[in-house]
A and B are shown apart, each in its own frame.
Chain A
């Protein structure tokens, strides 16, 4: 496969996201610009300009009309995907590290940083898709305060039934999005190893966490049971579950501060593919010359994109060998 290199950013990527149809790819980086790309050919559709600081996170509504971004300038901005206009700005006391639309797109959660005397929170904002996108509620409908350890990542489970958050201390917790109560908290990863990414499977019944403790875990959304563990030899920044084939993709690499003292070969700047069920590593894709910060998989499972510390987004459209690979037991199952 021939990757498409997208070089629209001048600084390291922080998050990339396909829309629900997979024809658009959104990327955000520390250089304040949000880019929209056509995933098929890598053409840039446009940029969303207005943030005053590093942009940490992006998410697109399920119907691809609104785009939400969270930034180090303490704002969450809502954009009109088609025109590139900013339709709403929500101010927060601290930087916003993660935003995510609920599966039906009616709500947006925003994870805010713990800093300057403010505790880390998860705010839930109601989104209105009326005639006028500017018509949005000013105040969050719910605020969950993380008193013990701040949340670094969060997302919505199936049917928006739970909010699931990964914490700085390596634990994963489950909240009720109606009341904001914590239902469960599990120390999924080693203590004090931050969870860097949390992505759901397509049906949102399970999710994968990537942690600094060099492992990724597949967990059940319902009861936070650890279903599978994928161990690697490098701190992980991101993990994603692939639809269509039963794989997971992990990305990581040396911490940014150690990069200059290690060669690209040792740096482990590769996307690692694991079999989701058998937990075996089945291959790697190299190409980045910095750690991988973010990975997202095309909703149809035909492509994946990775964003690195090197400022590049690489879009890979899988070729036949990817889809053909099967374990012997899978093949036998097919024959029956």
Chain B
């Protein structure tokens, strides 16, 4: 604060001396005729806030009654006494723009506008035209609801699915043509079937992350929130201790898309979460 001796020392810089002082207001004239006003003030939390305003000044000439012109010169009084000219922030503000178009049938128009606004918001309407397709039988239901869920594996590709079905019919069960029982894994398509069982997991595994060093206090929902920002998460599994119900320290996160999983793996690996540093890697096949 003191400016003794007129020292040109950086330590005398006022900004350092008085942290409560606000930098002076800056006014910059722009090329297009507007002004940029940069001012500083303290907000409610006593933090310094920089306010940048771009002001375009247009001069509007108006012819008024002499008494009106005379009144414009009046001083402020009462609670406003001594305040600077111009509207003050605590009493005057500008509201949102209101579209007001008088019309004879405004009621119908208002209703229509409301309907338009409503449609955008609802997910249900957005997905109205989308069809649900089962991955097992290609029927119009969710895969989880498929009646063949237990008997058939998901259709990998069109050809594989059809082939498997054919084979199973041929060599199925106790073997219509063959003399002896052939265990499923020895059947011609059986190997595929077995693989497909694995394949079912493999497909998921491709997009499943194994997360270790998870805090004991972790919650599935928190993990879901954490990982959902990278893509659609289909499954979150958090291993818990059976007795204490506390997390065991690892979790699996399955993504719908492998690309999202790879991104999440890259980003969240080494991420600090609940005082521990997460380790994220692609889950290995549980063979």
Contacts and interface: CB of A to CB of B under 8 A. Distances in A.
A284 B107 CA distance: 9
Nearest to B110: A284
Contact of A83 (B68, B77, B95, B97): B77
Nearest to B71: A23
Interface stretch (A3-11, A70-78, A107-115, A198-206): A3-11
Given A4-B92, A47-B78, A82-B74, A23 B102 contact: no
A247 B96 CA distance: 24
Interface string B86-103: 111011111111101111
Nearest to A319: B100
B171 to A, nearest CB: 67
Contacts, number: 117
B243 interface: no
A33 interface: yes
B79 A5 contact: no
Prevailing SS type, chain B contact patch = loop
Interface in B158-192: none
A301 interface: no
B212 to A, nearest CB: 49
B107 A7 contact: no
A285 B110 CA distance: 12
A322 interface: yes
A281 interface: yes
B30 to A, nearest CB: 23
A314 interface: yes
B67 interface: yes
Contacts of A319: 100
Contact of A49 (B79, B92, B106, B107): B79
B91 A284 contact: no
B148 to A, nearest CB: 48
A46 B100 contact: no
Contacts of A46: 76-81
Interface stretch (A36-44, A142-150, A158-166, A211-219): A36-44
B123 interface: no
A283 B109 CA distance: 10
Interface in A30-85: 33, 41-49, 63-64, 82-84
A300 to B, nearest CB: 11
A45 B76 contact: yes
Contacts of A327: 104
B59 interface: no
B106 A3 contact: no
A2 B96 CA distance: 6
A1 interface: yes
A21 interface: yes
A44 B68 CA distance: 16
A7 B92 contact: yes
Given A284-B106, A321-B100, A41 B87 contact: yes
A327 to B, nearest CB: 7
Contacts of B90: 7
B80 A285 contact: no
A84 B104 contact: no
A6 B92 contact: yes
A325 B101 contact: yes
B2 interface: no
Interface string A171-186: 0000000000000000
Most A CB within 10 A of own CB, among B68, B92, B110? B92
A325 B80 contact: no
B80 A44 contact: yes
A298 interface: no
B126 interface: no
Contacts of A7: 90-93
A43 B71 CA distance: 13
B72 to A, nearest CB: 8
B106 A281 contact: yes
Nearest to B78: A47
B160 to A, nearest CB: 55
A28 interface: no
15 contacts: A2-B98, A3-B95, A6-B91, A6-B92, A7-B93, A43-B85, A44-B87, A44-B88, A46-B77, A46-B79, A47-B79, A247-B102, A273-B102, A284-B110, A314-B95
Interface of B: 64-65, 67-68, 71-72, 74, 76-81, 85-88, 90-98, 100-104, 106-107, 110
Interface of A: 1-8, 21, 23-24, 33, 41-49, 63-64, 82-84, 247, 273, 280-287, 314, 316, 318-319, 321-322, 325, 327
Given A82-B77, A282-B103, A283-B100, 14 more contacts: A3-B98, A23-B64, A46-B79, A46-B80, A47-B79, A47-B80, A63-B67, A64-B67, A247-B102, A282-B102, A282-B104, A287-B95, A314-B95, A316-B100
Interchain residue pairs A-B with the least CB separation, the first 8: A47-B78, A84-B77, A46-B77, A325-B102, A42-B92, A46-B78, A43-B87, A282-B102
